[in-house]
Amino acid sequence: MRFAPIPQALPAIVPFIGAEEMERRRGAPYIARLGANENGFGPSPRAHEAMIAAASEAWKYGDATSHELRLALADHHAVAPENIVVGAGIDGLLGLLVRLMVAPGEAVVTSDGAYPTLNYHVAGFGGRIEKLPYRDDREDLPALLARAAEVEARLIYLANPDNPMGSWHDGATLTAMLDDIPPGSLLLLDEAYAEFAPDAALPRIDPNDPRVIRMRTFSKAYGLAGLRIGYAIGAPALIAGFDRIRNHFGVNRIAQQAALAALQDGDWLDRTRQNVADARDRIAQIAADNGLTALPSATNFVAVDCGGDGAFARRVLGALDRAGVFARMPGVAPLDRCIRISCAPEAELAVFAERLPAALDAARQS
């Protein structure tokens, strides 16, 4: 089979193997699902009710402009509706942005070990990825800017708070960073975990600033990962550009209504934040009880330093997998000394606590 030149040259890979596929490969379901940073505490009851109500109208296409949701998001962020585009989660919006901004051969700067879906899209559209190492378990802002200037990058990717380490930069630093963005570059600020971050981590950026685009999701704090819905905030001219290439009916009606209801339930969001904070403390205690170190986190997961190298952490992860615990780990050194544990209800964390000691023993004896 002959494909078009760019996909013809690519390997047949996906950024992540899904939990369901991993269960099929292992021949049994997981007991504790702690690997995908999903919100196991669930969506708002209002969102659940909205999904049920919208299901009877599933025969209709979704609103192509997500009009009601865009208005609500504009009000929520004190911006204009023209500053917002809704898409199929941050993953879908990343693909659209790369297609919109990056010509074949042009560079995108990111960190080695950062969220890999961006790299997948850049490769798929013929762009060139330029990677730099983390510094002190955080993305290295000066190095990203310097490399962007050197290679005339079209995009500079930064997740704040960060995945996979859970670290963060303070908002004032990010705001100041905008003055050093090279001409022709756009800062892509992935804020998937923003609702879990301290206020000081979130920059105060003019929504009309053409040097930056910010991406948010309903997958994490709002518990709607399965519906695939997120949004971007940016300058109107940039946001309008998405209409040139996006799938105009790509966000379904049920997702739109659920997101709208979730956004309006601030009490449930506060409850989720508290549940996540308690779960982070619980994971940190489990790590300490086993002689491991939990890294500080501003997300709904915790990176746990296993105290060895990547090979050792990988053995721990494999032993957990065989014991029915789904977790993940960063992909490059020195980040891969850690495993990443998603915040979850106590029943699942209890399974992790019970089975981690044996997984560590197995890894040490291998």
In this structure, the answer to whether residues 111 and 201 fall within a common structural domain is: yes
Residue 3 maps to a domain: no
On the question of pLDDT at 13 being above 90, the answer is no
Residue 90 maps to a domain: yes
Q: How many CB atoms lie within 10 A of CB 70?
A: 22
Residue 294 maps to a domain: yes
Residue position matching structure tokens 């908002």: 171
In this structure, the answer to whether residues 30 and 107 fall within a common structural domain is: no
Band of pLDDT at residue 1, cut at 50, 70 and 90: confident
Band of pLDDT at residue 172, cut at 50, 70 and 90: very high
On the question of pLDDT at 153 being above 90, the answer is yes
Band of pLDDT at residue 16, cut at 50, 70 and 90: confident
In this structure, the answer to whether residues 255 and 347 fall within a common structural domain is: no
pLDDT tens-digit series, residues 71-126: 999 999 999 999 999 999 999 999 999 999 999 999 999 999 999 999 999 999 99
- In the chain, what's the furthest Cα-to-Cα distance? 59
Measured between alpha carbons, how far is residue 94 from residues 104, 121, 155, 213 in Å? 16, 7, 11, 11
Residues 303 and 221: their CA atoms lie apart, in Å, by: 18
In this structure, the answer to whether residues 60 and 151 fall within a common structural domain is: yes
How many domains does the chain divide into?
A: 2
Residue 2 maps to a domain: no
How does the average pLDDT of the chain come out, rounded? 97
In this structure, the answer to whether residues 257 and 357 fall within a common structural domain is: no
Band of pLDDT at residue 11, cut at 50, 70 and 90: confident
Please give the order of strands across the beta sheet that includes 301-305.
293-294, 301-305, 338-342
Residue 198 maps to a domain: yes
In this structure, the answer to whether residues 217 and 236 fall within a common structural domain is: yes
In this structure, the answer to whether residues 232 and 321 fall within a common structural domain is: no
Summarize the confidence of residues 316-340 as an average pLDDT: 97
In this structure, the answer to whether residues 82 and 175 fall within a common structural domain is: yes
The whole-number pLDDT of residue 366 equals: 85
> Residue 142 sits in a domain of what CATH number?
3.40.640.10
Question: Model-level pTM?
Answer: 0.96
The whole-number pLDDT of residue 78 equals: 98
In this structure, the answer to whether residues 187 and 109 fall within a common structural domain is: yes
The whole-number pLDDT of residue 15 equals: 82
Last residue of a domain, one of 237, 264, 291: 264
Residue 9 maps to a domain: no
Share of the chain above pLDDT 70, in %: 100
Greater confidence (173 vs 14) lies with: 173
Residues 170 and 343: their CA atoms lie apart, in Å, by: 23
> Residue 27 sits in a domain of what CATH number?
3.90.1150.10
Last residue of a domain, one of 226, 241, 264: 264
The whole-number pLDDT of residue 269 equals: 98
In this structure, the answer to whether residues 75 and 35 fall within a common structural domain is: no
Q: Note down the domain range covering 64.
A: 45-264
In this structure, the answer to whether residues 240 and 97 fall within a common structural domain is: yes
Residue 4 maps to a domain: no
Band of pLDDT at residue 12, cut at 50, 70 and 90: confident
Following CA atoms 42, 46, 47, 51 in sequence, which dihedral angle do they give, to the nearest 10 degrees? Answer: 120
pLDDT tens-digit series, residues 114-146: 999 999 999 999 999 999 999 999 999 999 999
In this structure, the answer to whether residues 154 and 274 fall within a common structural domain is: no
Share of the chain above pLDDT 90, in %: 97
Query: Is 34 within 8 Å of 348 (Cβ atoms)?
Result: yes
On the question of pLDDT at 14 being above 90, the answer is no
Residues 277 and 298: their CA atoms lie apart, in Å, by: 9
